[in-house]
């Protein structure tokens, strides 16, 4: 078991402890760390014998947790590290929620958003040791298909609005404030499930309480993918819903009644703020080192669950 996973096993047992860790991990300054600095941090905090050095300092630990893929120990591309998620997705999410003047801009921003989210999920997936970070042609086609479908589906409010010429206030409220919430959540869930479908088909490694690999489980893979997809749905669904609810309340204030032009900037700012606040919350919903009960495992793996459960890497 990778030392990053051992850290999560010991330090990430509760939601609040995971939230504290993720807030530290998401500090964007570590994006500028070189591969040499990351590898040095790894050498300081642990070893191949899985002995952790908690006296190495938080900086070294956070650098390892934020920059190294726990499945292979390889350094993640900077653009797909957790601390890059907010700076990249914030403008894409805000732009995708804009009331565009046509269908093409809506499709363009949806394509950028769905492509990045798919790439992030793929880079932070779980893989078997013999696979490494290689991607099969089948999985590439599934990812491309997922991005294409999510792009078109995400632009549905704009497509319907412009193709049907709907301009009544009721339709405007529905397509601008109501529909984006379930649509964003469902597409986020769909994106992760399809991008990481290879895990459900092949299974992922499971570990005993001592960190030793005891086999490959499809049941654990399905649980890991579901948890990740659910957290992503909560992230983007809440980001779509909460700003609209806040603006609904603010519209009744004197300030916005006198200055209605402030409505759009407030919508964009609140969307970015809610996204930033929800990222560590969504990442913390489920443990990075998840557990699966013995009764839910494949029969051939149940004898290895001496403690009543086995552990697996959830991915991100």
User: What is the tens place of the pLDDT at every residue in 97-110?
Assistant: 887 777 888 899 99
- Strands 289-293 vs 309-313: parallel, antiparallel or unpaired: antiparallel
Q: What are the φ/ψ torsions at residue 78 (nearest 5 degrees)? A: -55, -35
Tally of domains in the chain = 1
Q: What is the C-alpha to C-alpha distance for residues 99 and 97, in angstroms, rounded to an integer?
A: 7
Name the residue with tokens 């899985």. Answer: 50
Q: In this prediction, what percent of the chain has a pLDDT beyond 90?
A: 36
pLDDT bin (cut points 50, 70, 90) of residue 306 is confident
pLDDT of residue 50: 53
Looking at the predicted structure, is the pLDDT value of residue 6 above 50?
A: yes
pLDDT of residue 49: 46
User: What is the tens place of the pLDDT at every residue in 182-221?
Assistant: 999 999 999 999 999 888 888 899 998 888 888 899 999 9
User: What is the tens place of the pLDDT at every residue in 227-240?
Assistant: 999 999 999 999 99
Q: What is the C-alpha to C-alpha distance for residues 24 and 18, in angstroms, rounded to an integer?
A: 10
Alpha carbon dihedral 275, 279, 280, 281, in 10-degree steps, equals: 80
User: What is the tens place of the pLDDT at every residue in 121-150?
Assistant: 999 988 776 665 567 788 889 899 999 999
Looking at the predicted structure, is the pLDDT value of residue 56 above 70?
A: no
pLDDT bin (cut points 50, 70, 90) of residue 161 is confident
Q: In this prediction, what percent of the chain has a pLDDT beyond 70?
A: 89
Per-residue pLDDT, averaged over 147-167, amounts to: 79
pLDDT of residue 202: 87
Alpha carbon dihedral 53, 56, 59, 62, in 10-degree steps, equals: 0
Classify 243 as helix, strand or coil. helix
**Domain that residue 116 falls in:** 3-313
Name the residue with tokens 């319907």. Answer: 160
For the ranges 35-49, 95-109, 247-261, 286-300, the maximum mean pLDDT occurs at: 286-300
Structure tokens at 31: 């994006």
pLDDT of residue 255: 67
Scored b (16 or more CB within 10 A) or e, 214-223 reads bbbbebbbbb
pLDDT of residue 108: 92
């Amino acid at each position: 078991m990778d030392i990053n996973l051992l850290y999560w096993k010991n330090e990430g047992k509760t939601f609040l402890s995971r939230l504290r860790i993720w807030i530290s991990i998401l500090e964007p300054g570590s994006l500028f760390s070189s591969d040499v600095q990351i590898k040095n941090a790894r050498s300081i905090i642990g070893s191949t014998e899985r002995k952790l050095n908690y006296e190495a300092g938080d900086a070294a630990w956070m650098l390892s947790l934020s920059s190294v893929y726990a499945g292979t120990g390889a350094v993640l591309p900077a653009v797909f590290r957790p601390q890059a998620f907010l700076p990249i997705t914030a403008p894409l999410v805000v732009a995708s929620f804009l009331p565009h003047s046509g269908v093409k801009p809506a499709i363009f921003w949806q394509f950028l958003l769905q492509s990045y989210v798919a790439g992030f999920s793929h880079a932070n997936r779980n893989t078997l040791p013999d696979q490494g970070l290689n991607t099969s042609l089948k999985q590439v086609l599934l990812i491309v298909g997922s991005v294409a479908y999510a792009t078109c589906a995400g632009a549905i409010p704009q497509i319907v609005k412009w193709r049907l010429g709907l301009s009544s206030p009721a339709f405007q409220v529905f397509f601008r404030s109501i529909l984006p919430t379930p649509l964003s959540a469902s597409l986020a869930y769909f994106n992760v499930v399809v991008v990481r479908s290879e895990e459900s088909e092949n299974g992922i490694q499971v570990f005993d309480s001592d960190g030793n690999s005891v086999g490959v489980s499809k049941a654990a893979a399905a649980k890991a993918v579901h948890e990740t997809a659910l957290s992503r749905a909560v992230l983007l669904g809440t980001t779509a819903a909460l700003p609209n609810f806040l603006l609904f309340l603010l519209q009744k204030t004197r300030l916005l009644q006198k200055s209605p032009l402030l409505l759009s900037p407030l919508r964009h700012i609140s969307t970015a703020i809610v996204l930033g606040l929800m990222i560590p919350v969504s990442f913390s919903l489920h443990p990075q080192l998840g557990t699966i009960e013995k009764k839910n495992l494949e029969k051939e793996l149940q004898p290895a669950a001496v403690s009543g459960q086995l552990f697996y890497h959830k991915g991100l």
